[in-house]
Amino acid sequence: MAETLRIALAGLGTVGAGVLRLLEDNGELITARAGRRIEVVAVSARERSKDRGVDLSPYAWEDDMTAFAGRDDVDVVVELVGGSDGPALALARKALAGGKGLVTANKAMVAHHGLELARLAEDRGTPMRYEAAVAGGIPVIKGLGEGAAANRIERIYGILNGTCNYILSEMETTGRDFGEVLADAQALGYAEADPAFDIEGVDAAHKLAILASVAFGTELDFAAVDTSGITRIRSADIAQARALGYVIRLLGISDCDESGGERRLFQRVAPCLVPRSHPLASVDGPTNAVVAEGNHVGRLLFEGAGAGDGPTASAVVADLIDIARGNATAPFSLPVASLEASKPADPGNRRSRAYLRFMVADRPGVLAEITAAMRDAGVSIESMIQQGHPDDTDGDPVLVTMVTHEGPESSVTAALNVLDGSPSLVEEPLVMRLLG
Amino acid sequence: MAETLRIALAGLGTVGAGVLRLLEDNGELITARAGRRIEVVAVSARERSKDRGVDLSPYAWEDDMTAFAGRDDVDVVVELVGGSDGPALALARKALAGGKGLVTANKAMVAHHGLELARLAEDRGTPMRYEAAVAGGIPVIKGLGEGAAANRIERIYGILNGTCNYILSEMETTGRDFGEVLADAQALGYAEADPAFDIEGVDAAHKLAILASVAFGTELDFAAVDTSGITRIRSADIAQARALGYVIRLLGISDCDESGGERRLFQRVAPCLVPRSHPLASVDGPTNAVVAEGNHVGRLLFEGAGAGDGPTASAVVADLIDIARGNATAPFSLPVASLEASKPADPGNRRSRAYLRFMVADRPGVLAEITAAMRDAGVSIESMIQQGHPDDTDGDPVLVTMVTHEGPESSVTAALNVLDGSPSLVEEPLVMRLLG
């Protein structure tokens, strides 16, 4: 049996403790699969004395985790500290520069600095892996970068944030409104005390940018992800969607637009209407799921737990087993020099069907104003519902929803620009696309 | 860039031609991902002159494919001939013995001889891969053996035969009976002229035996798979299942029974009742899907096309890319010596809920006879339906279905043994388990 693979672990939160527990629980199996022992030799975290339910006495302690990079008894650094910059990035850079392998679960850092880190890993001939950064325990980076490697991927999309999916499926099941369900999710530990990163779509955007790079062989471009969250969705939207045969899911969607003779990368995170019959429609609760469409394999779907200590630790240790086995796939499946620096696609050129929701003043002429703006912009309306007040309470705003026929997104934008500032609209309209 | 990986391809049916097309279509991308060119140098098939829609002139031709093993210009042999023994096995053995890598899509051969071939590969230090043998284009061997490698897998189950799934979902949608739908499936190319391997569950059993070995680290034991097919399912069963909130799917299910202090491997292929809310219930048509439950990652699901030239070629070429990259996972994820020779579990000890369907003579006392047999064997009935004739045609057999409470499978068997040969039963009862 080959030499032990020696690990230094930075960050002992739930995932860090989960990795230690997993290595202990399944140690014998992991050694057999990896062909050698995987042994944690050193750990680091903010507080040494905190009770984490795991015994830290077998491991050397470093107050300064960047010291891992200088330790001769360490082969791979596992970074579970989090944050796109700061200590995590300093550690990752130092570790790779020092010739150590890097395994990380840090989606923000990979989304912002993945290309730089991959270049560093390539220069030093040392492995870098981040399966746990995308969709928790689901081996989707491996599935795309190895399992589907023979394919030109045509589109990738999925449910990438468990918190949002939990909130949306709870809203659907219970009929309650966003704020209430969010508060419950926080109490249950499904949402953070500061939930902005999740509910505003940023976390999903991190993951989408990483997936897009692996799927399309393009350079990471997180800044170009067109991102919106779920905070404006009301129970009325969910009810309307249901009546139309859809459910609402926060999706990350990416494809390549090759129409202009030049490949342009489209990346969007937004709530979408998903047909009830689509596999993603039945993905409920904190589960994640990713669909990849390859030019020979067709549609692949990967589904599983998107977060949690067990699933995330499973992905971290899978990366370690790969490194122990000597599996040497490039971090983004292609050498850095082969990744294409593609420009962002213009969403205006995309064709889709849209769901539009207006809160309008209950007075004559409002519908005429909205429909005229649509007509003038060339938007064709497939169906429209105005919800009357059962008790005809004059003056209260009423809900108008419509679904458009397929057309350029720019037309919908043009129509909404005309309506912008109209006293008929009580609040900004909500636009969601239908997954086609 | 490293040297070209040189391939010899045996078998030029739809999959073989699909591999040549895929290598041509996506050649540049595949070279970039693999880090070197993957080039077919020689081919072999039964008939040289047949038109396959691909140009064979760039490749050397061998009438006898086992000659590949002796060619110095070949690194990897791709076996797409099929059949558990005969020429395919002779080729696989010779290729590995000659130090060539082996990639195969041949589930029958791997199920029967996989262990011997893996041992040979290991002895010669040469790679052996068979992703395409299980669930077509879905990277599930990689997903289990690498992606979920850190986990003790607790159960694996799935839809492993597209033909059966197509037939069952068509029966469900159209209400038509088995024979009619099978004939249509044959006309559409979803079922073979001789469909026995598919509809009797043998093909799914091949795949299940392979999956079980990778998932549980056990030696392949195809002979121990408890196999039944879908030929006895009637549209009435599908309607009854639907009324109870279930759909019928042919599932392969495997887990380890550790109750007796000794690990025993349970492997079964059988039609099962799957709750409507389960992700497998919405897998329709020729799609395959595999669920793996890991002790840390929880439930993973992999779904995609289970057959067809494109998906199967995608898996074959993914294996070639892995070999080109030098990725060196053992064929069954563990070294052969570490695979456990576990005994088959006794299904009688398993606890499940069962659906039972009887065709009975329409005369007094029949229900009393059946229910007494159940009571005497300790089987507790949860619900029972006897379908009356709307026009009360005396003498025609009638359908009696029941669902039992959870209990040992041996009790149901005991009850049916008592009823065996009873003149009240017009045909052998059908038993299907409910997926728990």
Pairing mode, strands A226-227 and A264-275: parallel
Is A320 part of a structural domain of the chain? no
Residues in chain A within 8 Å Cβ distance of B18: 296
Q: State yes or no: pLDDT of A259 exceeds 90.
A: no
Q: What is the pLDDT of residues B103-120, one digit of tens each?
A: 999 999 999 999 999 999
Q: Do residue A301 and residue A158 come from a single domain? A: yes
Residues in chain A within 8 Å Cβ distance of B328: 325-327
A165 in contact with chain B, both atoms CB, cutoff 8 A: no
Full residue range of the structural domain in which residue B156 is found: 140-305
Q: Do residue A249 and residue A396 come from a single domain? A: no
Q: Do residue B219 and residue B176 come from a single domain? A: yes
Is B240 part of a structural domain of the chain? yes
CA-to-CA distance for A278 and B81, rounded, in angstroms?
A: 36
Mind telling me how many Å the CA of A318 is from chain B's nearest CA? Answer: 6
Angle between helices A162-174 and A235-244 (to 10 degrees): 80
A162 in contact with chain B, both atoms CB, cutoff 8 A: no
CA-to-CA distance for B161 and B78, rounded, in angstroms?
A: 23
pLDDT recorded at residue B249:
98
Phi and psi, residue A260, nearest 5°: -85, 20
Q: What is the pLDDT of residues A84-110, one digit of tens each?
A: 999 999 999 999 999 999 999 999 999
Is B327 part of a structural domain of the chain? no
Q: What is the pLDDT of residues A210-244, one digit of tens each?
A: 999 999 999 999 999 999 999 999 999 999 999 99
pLDDT recorded at residue A238:
96
Is A180 part of a structural domain of the chain? yes
CA-to-CA distance for A202 and B190, rounded, in angstroms?
A: 44
> What count of Cα atoms within 13 Å lies in the side-chain half-sphere of residue B354?
24
Q: Do residue A426 and residue A277 come from a single domain? A: no
Residues with Cβ within 8 Å of residue A251, at least 6 apart in sequence: A157, A158, A159, A160, A269, A270, A271, A272, A274, A280, A435
Q: How many domains are there within chain A?
A: 3
Q: Do residue A287 and residue A357 come from a single domain? A: no
Q: Do residue A60 and residue A146 come from a single domain? A: no
ipTM of the complex: 0.95
Mind telling me how many Å the CA of B411 is from chain A's nearest CA? Answer: 35
Q: State yes or no: pLDDT of A388 exceeds 80.
A: no
> For this structure, is B94 an active site residue?
no
Mind telling me how many Å the CA of B45 is from chain A's nearest CA? Answer: 23
Give Rg (Cα) of chain B: 24
Contact between residue A165 and residue A284 where contact means Cβ atoms under 8 Å apart? yes
pLDDT recorded at residue A16:
96
Is A106 part of a structural domain of the chain? yes
**Element of type H or E holding B372:** helix B366-377
Task: End-to-end CA distance of chain A: give it in Å, rounded.
Answer: 51
Nearest to A152 by CA among B22, B315, B294: B22
Q: What is the pLDDT of residues B190-217, one digit of tens each?
A: 888 889 999 999 999 999 999 999 999 9
Last residue of a domain, one of A305, A333, A358: A305
Residues in chain B within 8 Å Cβ distance of A302: 143, 300-303
Residue A145, both tokens:
């970068």
Residue A374, both tokens:
């649509």
Confidence of residue B362 (pLDDT cuts 50, 70, 90): confident
Q: Do residue A86 and residue A166 come from a single domain? A: no
Taking residues B85-94, what's their average pLDDT? 97
DSSP string, B30-85: HHHHHTS-EEEEEEE-S-SS---SS--TTSEE-SSGGGGGG-TT-SEEEE----SS
CATH number at residue A92: 3.40.50.720
B329 in contact with chain A, both atoms CB, cutoff 8 A: yes
pLDDT recorded at residue A190:
83
pLDDT recorded at residue B283:
94
Last residue of a domain, one of B305, B328, B363: B305
Q: Do residue A411 and residue A298 come from a single domain? A: no
Is A310 part of a structural domain of the chain? no
Contact between residue B65 and residue B43 where contact means Cβ atoms under 8 Å apart? no
Q: Do residue A155 and residue A221 come from a single domain? A: yes
Q: Do residue B160 and residue B276 come from a single domain? A: yes
CA-to-CA distance for B329 and B87, rounded, in angstroms?
A: 27
A63 backbone φψ class: left, alpha, beta (φ>0; ψ -120 to 50): alpha
Q: Do residue B117 and residue B196 come from a single domain? A: no
Q: What is the pLDDT of residues B320-360, one digit of tens each?
A: 999 999 998 999 999 999 999 989 998 888 999 999 999 99
B53, burial (CB in 10 Å: exposed 0-12, middle 13-18, buried 19+): exposed
Q: Do residue A151 and residue A293 come from a single domain? A: yes
What residue type is assigned to position A25 of the chain? D
CATH number at residue A378: 3.30.70.260
Q: What is the dihedral of CA A119, A121, A122, A125, to 10 degrees?
A: 160
Is A318 part of a structural domain of the chain? no
Is A267 part of a structural domain of the chain? yes
Contact between residue B22 and residue B310 where contact means Cβ atoms under 8 Å apart? yes
Taking residues B301-306, what's their average pLDDT? 97
B431 in contact with chain A, both atoms CB, cutoff 8 A: no
Last residue of a domain, one of A113, A133, A153: A133
Q: What percent of chain B has pLDDT over 70?
A: 98
CATH number at residue A278: 3.30.360.10
